[in-house]
Amino acid sequence: MSQVCEITGKKPMSGHNVSHAHNKTKRKFRVNLFKKRFYIPEEDRWVTLKVSKEGLKLIDKIGISAALKQAKEKGYLTRKI
């Protein structure tokens, strides 16, 4: 299953663990994702989305309908909702 936020498009990043001796080993910075259900009053239905913490804050700020529209325009939401 893909680890991508469906609202903001955030993906895992790669980087390094750096020790005291400055040895570097590869690591992943994963996205803080939640599987959450949202109610869309205009369509009178529920949708389930995988959203990050920033995606939840964006939905609280501008609303679910505007956030879905913005995600579709930017190409983050690929499946049919």
Is residue 39 a part of any domain in this protein?
yes
pLDDT tens, position by position, 19-33 = 999 999 999 999 999
Instruction: Check which CATH number belongs to the domain holding 30 and give it.
Output: 2.30.170.40
pLDDT band at 81 (very low <50, low <70, confident <90, very high): confident
pLDDT at position 79: 82
List the one residue out of 66, 60, 49, 55 whose CA is nearest residue 31.
55
Is residue 4 a part of any domain in this protein?
no
Is residue 28 a part of any domain in this protein?
yes
- Per the structure, the complete domain to which residue 48 belongs is given by 13-74
Distance (Å, whole) CA 73 – CA 55: 15
Domain count, the chain: 1
Is residue 8 a part of any domain in this protein?
no
pLDDT tens, position by position, 32-75 = 999 999 999 999 999 999 999 999 999 999 999 999 999 999 99
Is residue 59 a part of any domain in this protein?
yes
3-state secondary structure 53-73: HHHHHHHHHHCHHHHHHHHHH
Distance (Å, whole) CA 61 – CA 29: 26
Is residue 20 a part of any domain in this protein?
yes
